Amino acid sequence: MTPAEAARVVNEAVYHPHWRLSAEARGSKVIVANQIATFDSSDFTSDGRYWNETVIAPRFEFEVDDAMQEEDVLHQVAKGIDSINAHETREFLRLRRRGRWVAPFHPHRWDGVLLDTALSRAYPDKVSQR
């Protein structure tokens, strides 16, 4: 499959009602841009509810080769989506500590990245879906 064909596959795909995928070929890669309707993770109420709607636009890319089929392209897209969702989870997941909401794994704070990395190494793959 060519990168242009892979980008077409992404552009024909749908994912989540609040996500819009768009892709373009660039060299041997496909660049996937996402428009995601979500909430501002830095703006929440005292009881921990997020209320300020926003749109974010994260991107990811993947290499394309001649042997790829549509399912291979979608698998790469799923991995990119998983990466975005993991990032957002670390940003939004909070605990109330001493009257404040704290995001211990926040990906935009160095201490959050270090803690997430350390715990991921200490406890790999301990969760399974049922």
Residue 29 has pLDDT above 70, yes or no: yes
Give the pLDDT score at 124: 79
Pairwise CA distance, residues 19 & 103, whole Å: 24
The span from the first CA to the last CA of the chain, in angstroms, equals 35
104-117 pLDDT, tens digit per residue, is 999 999 999 999 99
Average pLDDT over residues 50-79: 95
pLDDT of residue 129: 66
For residue 70, give every residue at least 6 positions away whose Cβ sits within 8 Å of its Cβ, in sequence order, or none. 1, 9
How large a percentage of the chain has pLDDT more than 70? 96
Q: How far is CA 9 from the centre of its chain?
A: 19
**127 vs 88, more confident:** 88
Phi-psi category of residue 15: left, alpha or beta, with phi > 0 → left and psi -120 to 50 → alpha? alpha
What's the token pair of residue 77?
């897209």
User: Residue 71: helix, strand or coil by DSSP?
Assistant: helix
Distance set, CA 109 to CA 1, 32, 61, 92, 102 (Å): 39, 25, 24, 13, 12
